[in-house]
Amino acid sequence: MAAWGERLAGVRGVLLDISGVLYDGGEGGGAAIAGSVEAVARLKRSRLKVRFCTNESQKSRADLVGLLQWLGFDVSEGEVTAPAPAACLILKQRGLRPHLLVHDGVRSEFDQIDTSNPNCVVIADAGEGFSYQNMNKAFQVLMELENPVLFSLGKGRYYKETSGLMLDVGPYMKALEYACGIKAEVVGKPSPEFFKSALQEMGVEAHEAQ
């Protein structure tokens, strides 16, 4: 393995994941992963630019940053790239009015979005919100559209909480894709557009990022 100095030659910026990298969610908010608070602090003291790029879609950016700060991380809202704000941009650009199947914690990110008479569906990691009734409602909205459009904030299979593995949004995206015979548009990782927007916000090119 190359030495760090060599590996970081030409690197100007670092994108950091949050859930499962900086902290594990769970009861009482979760717990920082050993060494991660200090690692972020060291990166910030270095010459490297740092940006946080997350698929977290249960919380608004404000709530997520509040939690991270409470866990000891040096992070501000403006340093975080997250799927819900990216989805809002797309909805506005395309004149789409979503039916939202999202966690209550992230709903405030959509406050400026018209959700009347929906012509698309947005799903995110809704946790307990993925009830049969809510899934069936999203399904019915899609089936009533001539051209059903489904956005999924990420497509993760599952994530780890301190209490165990938890189903993420991906399985529910697959469920609606199969039910309606459609393909979802993923907003968030691993979508290249999402990474690009994070790099732009950091002000570095892809080949300069780690």
CB burial of 34-68 (b: ≥16 within 10 Å; e: otherwise) equals: eebbeebeeeeeeebbbbbbbbbbbbbbebbbebb
- Give the number of other CB atoms < 10 A from CB of residue 122: 30
31, 41, 89, 143: residue in contact with a copy of itself (rule CB under 8 A) = 143
Q: Which C-beta is closer to a copy of itself: that of 52 or that of 159?
A: 159
What minimum distance in Å lies between the beta carbon of 177 and a copy of itself?
8
Which of the residues 175 through 194 are near a copy of itself (CB under 8 A)? 175-181
Total interface residues for a copy of itself by CB under 8 A: 31
E strands, the chain, where?
Answer: 13-16, 23-24, 31-32, 49-53, 80-81, 98-101, 120-123, 150-153, 158-161, 164-167, 185-187
Choices 22-30, 49-57, 169-177, 191-199; region in contact with a copy of itself by CB under 8 A: 169-177
Q: 3-class SS at 125?
A: coil
* Residue 200 contacts a copy of itself per CB under 8 A: no
What minimum distance in Å lies between the beta carbon of 152 and a copy of itself?
12
Query: Which residues form the interface with a copy of itself (CB under 8 A)?
Result: 126-133, 135-136, 139-140, 143, 157-158, 164-168, 170-172, 174-181
